[in-house]
Amino acid sequence: MLFKKISIALLIVGWFSSAAVAIAQQPSAFTEIPLAPQFDLAPHQAPEARAQLNQVKQNINQARAQLALIMRGEAPLNASFTLGEGTPGAVQMTNQGLLKGWFENYVFAQFTHARSMGELATQRLTFVNELNTRCQSDTVYQHLANNVVLPQMQTFLTGNFHPAVKYNAMLIVGQMNQQSNYNPDQTRRVPVPSSAALGFLLQNIEGAAANDAILLASWVGILRHTGMNRLTNHISGPNQVAIATQALNLLNQDPNASGRTISGQTWFQRRALEVLAAIGRDNGQILSRIVEIIKDDNAPISLRLSAAKALHYFYYDAQTKVAVEDTLNALGLLSIKICRNELARVEAEKEAEAAAVAGGVGDLGAGMGGAMGGMDGGMGGMDGGMGGMDGGMGGMDGGMGGMMGGMGGDVFGGGASVLSKEEKRRVDYSRRILAYQLYHIVLAIGKQGRQAGPNTIPSTGMVLAVTQDNAGQAALTKIQESMDALIATIRIPSAEGRVSPDEPVEEPDRETMLANLEDEVRKIESFLLPAASAVEVETPAVTPDDNDAPLVPGS
C-alpha cells in the first residue's frame, strides 16, 4: 500500500518530465518529523497505557481550545500557558510557543509521515481552511505566516523530504495571505495574498524550482496571486512585468527542449496563458503570441482554446491593443475547426459501429465516443482544481447551460425529451463537446458592458478591443451573428408552451442537429475561407495522460 501511495505521488512529476526517474532512485528513507510527545497518540495504544492515552487526548483538546482564543486575538502571544496543568507531565510555555509547537511538531509533522502520503491534499486543505476561517487577528496571522508556516515550508523544500511533501509545501506557500481575512469588526474581507510568498514563488518560476513538480505548484500559486491582484493590487509593477516575462517565455518554449511530455508542456502553457490574462496588459509581444497560438493548427486544441479564452480578460486600451479583424478571423477559423472535428468524430464513430455490427461484435457507440472524443482538450480540465484564481477571474460554475447563457439562453434546456435514451445520450454528448469548446470563442468575442445605473459592468473581449480598433467593427458584427446562429443549432428548443410539464420537449436527434450545425459552419466558411487556407480536420484518439479528455456520459 505504501509503494502504491508513493507511486501516485511520483505520477505528478512523471507526467511533466523525466525527473521521475531521478526521484525514484532517491533513498527510500525520507525525513519524518516526530510528533511532539504531548500530542502523539501512537505510543499509548496498548490497553495498559489507557491513562497516558487519555492524557494525550486531553492535551490535544486543551491545546485546540487555547489556540481558538489565540487566533481570535483574545489571548496575547506573549502570555503564559501551561499544557496539562496539574499533571506530572505539565509543560509551561507562551502562547507563541504553543503556536510554534502545535503547527511544527504536530500539524506539519504529520505531513512527513509515510502513513500520510495519501492524505496530504486533505490535510493541506484542512490547514488552509482552518487558518483562514479561525484566525481573526492580523497580528496572529502575520506571526503564523511569516515565522512558522513559510519557514517550515521552505524547510520541507530544501530538506530530504518526500517529493509529495515538497509539492504540498509549495502549494501551501501559494495560499498564504498578507493578513487575516477579517476586518477589525469581524466582518469578512477580500484576502490579500502574501508578498513574502510571492517573492518565493517568483524565484521558483525564474529558475530556482528543483523540478517540474515544484515549478507546477509555483505557477499554481502565481495564478492565484495574479487573479486576486485585480481586486487587491498587491503586486508591484516590476513584479507584474517579471511574471509576464516568465509566462511569455513559457509560451515560447520548445516542448522538445523542456523535456516534458506534450500534455505536460501544454498544461504549463495553459497556466501561463491564464496568468497573462489575469495581468491583462500587453508588452507588444503577448497579444500577438496569443493570436498566433489561436491560429496554429499544429497546436493542441486545448491550448488554442485557452488562448482564445485569455482574450476575454485583457484591458484593451491605448496601451493594450489587438488587431480586431485579424483576431476575429482567427477565432472564426477556430470555431470551424471545433465543429468540423465533432462532425468527423461522429462519422468515425458511425463507421466503427457499422464495422462492429458487420463483424458481429455489437454496438460500440459508447466506446468510440470515448475513443474519438478526446480532441486534446475536450470537456474539462484542471482549471477548477488549480486555476480557479480564487474569484479573480470567474469560471464555469454555471455548467454548460450557464456558460452559454450569454449567447441567448440555456444550451441544454430541461424536461423530458421525445428522443430515446440512447439517442439522447448521443446528442447530449455532442452538445457538451461543442458547448464547452465554443464557450471559449464566446468569451473571446466578449459582451457589451453597462455604463449606467448603480452597477457598472465593463465590456470585455473583442467588444472592448474594437473601441481601440474601429476598423474591426464590421468583422465583430459578422462573427457575433455567426456565433449566435451556430450556438442556436445545438440549443434544445424551449420547453415553454407545453400543455403540461410532463409533455416531452421536441428536440432534434443528433443527425438533424449536426446537419443544421454544418449548414451554419458553411456560412462561416463562405466569408472566412476565401482569404485563408483550408481548415484541416483532426480526429485524434484519446491520449492516456491527457486529463482534459471528455468523459463519455454514463461512464
Q: What pLDDT was estimated at residue 450?
A: 83
Helices (H), 282-358: 286-295, 301-310, 324-358
pLDDT, average across residues 491-506: 70
* pLDDT exceeds 70 at position 216: yes
Rounded to an integer, what distance in angstroms lies between the CA atom of residue 268 and that of residue 38? 43
Residue 185 pLDDT: 86
pLDDT exceeds 70 at position 538: no
Per-residue pLDDT at 505: 72
pLDDT, average across residues 437-444: 97
Q: Please indicate whether residue 511 or residue 185 has the higher confidence score (pLDDT).
A: 511
Measure CA 460 to chain center: 21
* Residue 418: predicted pLDDT: 81
pTM exceeds 0.85, yes or no = no
**CA angle, residues 24, 27, 29, in degrees to nearest 5:** 120
Could you report the per-residue pLDDT of 229-260, keeping only the tens digit for each? 999 999 999 999 999 999 999 999 987 888 89
**What per-residue confidence (pLDDT) applies to 150?**
97
What is the average pLDDT score of the chain? 83
Q: Collapsing DSSP states into helix, strand and coil, what is residue 18?
A: coil
- Note whether 550 and 341 are within 8 A (CB): no
Q: What is the mean pLDDT of residues 250-274?
A: 91
- Tell me the average pLDDT across 339-357: 94
pLDDT of residue 501: 63
Supply the pLDDT for residue 200: 96
> Which of 143-147, 155-159, 384-388, 502-506 shows the lowest per-residue confidence on average (mean pLDDT)?
384-388
Could you identify the residue written with the cell 517568483?
A: 202
Distance of alpha carbon 368 from alpha carbon 541, whole angstroms: 9
Banded pLDDT at 500 (limits 50, 70, 90): low
Q: Dump pLDDT digits (tens) for 406-416.
A: 444 455 555 57
Give the per-residue pLDDT at 203.
95
| pLDDT above 90: residue 45 | no
Amino acid at residue number 204: N
Mean of pLDDT values over 441-454: 88
Which helix (H) or strand (E) is 144 found in, with range?
helix 138-144
> What are the residues facing 188 on neighbouring strands?
182
On whether the CB atoms of residues 241 and 186 are closer than 8 A, the answer is no
Give the three cell numbers for residue 311.
482574450
Reported as a single tens digit per residue, the pLDDT across 60-84 is 999 999 999 999 999 999 999 999 8
* 278 close to 393: Cβ distance less than 8 angstroms: yes
Q: Report the pLDDT value the prediction gives residue 33, as an integer from 0 to 100.
A: 95
Higher pLDDT, 152 or 44: 152
Percent with pLDDT over 90 in the chain: 66
Confidence (pLDDT) at 378: 43
State the virtual CA torsion across 528, 533, 537, 540 in degrees, nearest 10. -130
Q: What is the pLDDT of residues 161-192, one digit of tens each?
A: 999 999 999 999 999 999 999 998 889 999 99
Cell of 225: 496571486
Indicate the pLDDT class of residue 537, thresholds 50, 70 and 90.
low
pLDDT, average across residues 439-453: 90
CA distance 90 to 277: 55
pLDDT confidence of residue 396 = 36
pLDDT of residue 346: 96
Query: Given the C-alpha cell 489556540, which residue does it identify?
Result: 67
Percentage of the chain beyond pLDDT 70 is 78
